[in-house]
Amino acid sequence: MTAELKGKVGLVAGGTSGIGRETAVLFAGAGAKVVVAGRREKEGQDTVELILAGGGDGLFVKTDVSKASEVDALVQKTVEKFGRLDVAFNNAGIEGLWVPIARQSEEDFDRTINTNLKGVWLCLKYEIRQMLRQGGGGAIVNTASIYGLIGSAGAAAYSASKCGVIGLTKVAALENARSGIRVNSVCPAAIETPMADRLFGAPKVHEHAVRSHPIGRLGTPREVAEAVVWMCSDQASFMTGQSLVLDGGFLAGPSPPS
């Protein structure tokens, strides 16, 4: 059975490319009206155009999720346009600079944490407030990472931010379970996105990344988006406080010999 969001209003923070864009389009395909948020206006409008081309209804709101006033305004504009908020995907994130802790700047650490962790906290805060104002009910998915479950040398700020997202997810789920608001996270490994291109684009690095996934390839944005849509649908109605790993076998153990 295909996951459905018919009649729902969805919000995708970080919907300008990659997993966020794919999820926004799938939200619309599942029947939701979709608000796309991000810092890059052209890319955000391009996502909305894809939604409209598929027969859906969408709106772009330029938003920096690290700023409370902008996240508050984002939720307000969602309600002004579509009347309510039912499902949300908090996907905005950056990789930061992957360098050893001893060489990492305070500015880069703060920037990564502010976007990846504080940004999710702010989105949760204002999304949950709106859902409670409506009488409760709703579903939220946060983007964490396999690096929220394990460490990776050089990824201190990124890993710390994603560990934090998993913690926030559990707390938000516990606080709102009786209100009918489900909160989960998704933990992808390397996915074919602009971020992955920046991290693993060099041929030898890309080859190593592929070998690290026992399935023999990187994931696709569509594969993560399909999971997010399902997690936001009534088909996942008994799921809350969980972190769904989509990693091509990465965490299962070493890749088999080729």
> Which residues are known to be catalytic?
158
| Phi, psi (deg, nearest 5) at residue 136 | 95, 175
**How far are the Cα atoms of 25, 130, 192 from residue 178, in angstroms, in the given order?**
30, 16, 37
Residue listed under structure tokens 């990124």: 158
Phi, psi (degrees; rounded to nearest 5) at 4: -125, 145
What one-letter code names the amino acid at 2?
Answer: T
Selection from 111, 127, 114 nearest residue 13 by Cα: 127
Is the distance from CB of 253 to CB of 222 less than 8 angstroms? no
CB neighbour burial string for 91-122, b if at least 16 within 10 angstroms, e if fewer: bbbbbbbbeeeeebeeebbebbbbbbbbbbbb
The residues facing 183 across adjacent strands are 140
